[in-house]
A and B are shown apart, each in its own frame.
Chain A
């Protein structure tokens, strides 16, 4: 391909900056830029400017809308909750994991190590002490998130709190079974395009999957088949809420791949915020 027969235009350069070009056209533009340093500099500058504009208004996007705006919009839960939720990441982990297990995963709750040092104890943020942590997160990200009901898996909710700093609000939900074995479920907005990767340590597996704008990751100190069963519970519960539980209502977003639960050796890559 070359640009001679189909010269690169001003519109090409604009659309390249905004990522609106078809792949074939994008390659043509890139070939053009490789040999036209002035245009290349210009495009690089435009990309940097776009990035600066996004950073400039990042806080406006992240902050919790004031109550007078949300009150008029308060609503009962719609029929299809999760597929319309804003970008939320769920991480299900086992209490007592070594801190190193999470090392290098900037997308995971920053408060994880602290929470582990003081299990059930001190939290970095007490914002949700007197309210429902899930509701707090839901209002924070304007998403309709519901508390997964895992009673059918023999798990009951024993604690919820908000961990992480104000820039990375994370809700920690603790469930326990009859034997008092605990699992923690973390919910975190992923408005920064956080991408979760698969990791494995000491034979511990991590189940992860994407559901629309939501990435789920599940781990626990238990056999893989038990984890898998729980993953299916989480999947169904997060989609359907406390009352329903019929497996064949587990509708998936259009274009979604195979059913998520499974021992996955791959990273699940999330959908960018704003994707419909």
Chain B
């Protein structure tokens, strides 16, 4: 049990990051806390040797969806004027770009946004994303494709991301 606690504790920063991305600052830690409590109650259901991250993310996402259904309200997404802690963003132009990114994300349909965020933040494979979100892998691909297309469209004129002449193909991750 101790080692399960420890494994869960390791995932806290990632769980909080995705919760923040799903809910904004307001409800993120409540969501993570619900997730941790449920994980501790149900830790026996986690199959040792399998990816505990996927297990936890799926739990987090299900709690998130249940809360949405119960509350009947849309998640409060990241307020783009509140992010950009000075430490994270060195200069004004980067800040502008990030706020534009946040705004574009906010405008995505939630089902596309959840996929785009999970793929970008956690680097999960598409089958793992499908497992976490409880959807088919083909659905993951199509939502990712549509979500990215919308983001490109939203950011093209504003950020210069797609407008630059010479494409930068090197992976930045």
A-side residues, CB < 8 A to B, are: 10-11, 14-15, 17-20, 30, 33, 37, 40-63, 65-66, 68-70, 72-76, 78-79, 84, 86, 141-144, 166-167, 274, 276
B133 at the interface (CB under 8 A from A): no
Q: Which residues of B contact A61 (CB under 8 A)?
A: 13-14, 16-17
In the complex, given contacts A40-B167, A45-B161, A58-B88, what are 19 additional A-B residue pairs having Cβ atoms less than 8 angstroms apart?
A14-B145, A42-B152, A45-B156, A46-B148, A47-B168, A47-B171, A49-B155, A51-B172, A54-B120, A55-B94, A56-B21, A56-B101, A57-B121, A60-B20, A61-B17, A66-B29, A73-B36, A75-B3, A84-B10
Quick check: A41 and B162 within 8 Å, CB to CB?
A: yes
Quick check: A75 and B152 within 8 Å, CB to CB?
A: no
Instruction: Tell me the minimal C-beta distance from B28 to chain A in angstroms.
Output: 8
Q: CA separation between A55 and B141, bound complex, in Å?
A: 23
Quick check: B12 and A70 within 8 Å, CB to CB?
A: yes
Instruction: Tell me the minimal C-beta distance from B135 to chain A in angstroms.
Output: 16
Residues of B in contact with A, size category: 35 or more
Instruction: Tell me the minimal C-beta distance from B142 to chain A in angstroms.
Output: 9
When A30-B169, A65-B16, A75-B6 are in contact, do A46 and B36 touch as well, CB less than 8 Å?
no
Nearest first, the 5 A-B pairs at minimum CB distance are A44-B167, A45-B162, A52-B101, A73-B9, A53-B120
* Among B21, B88, B162, B169, contact of A55 (Cβ-Cβ < 8 Å): B88
Q: CA separation between A56 and B97, bound complex, in Å?
A: 10
* Among B8, B16, B145, B167, contact of A10 (Cβ-Cβ < 8 Å): B145
**25 A-B residue contacts at CB 8 Å?**
A10-B145, A18-B119, A42-B162, A43-B169, A44-B167, A45-B161, A47-B169, A49-B120, A52-B98, A53-B101, A53-B116, A53-B121, A54-B120, A55-B89, A56-B21, A56-B105, A61-B14, A65-B32, A68-B33, A69-B29, A76-B2, A78-B3, A84-B7, A84-B10, A86-B10
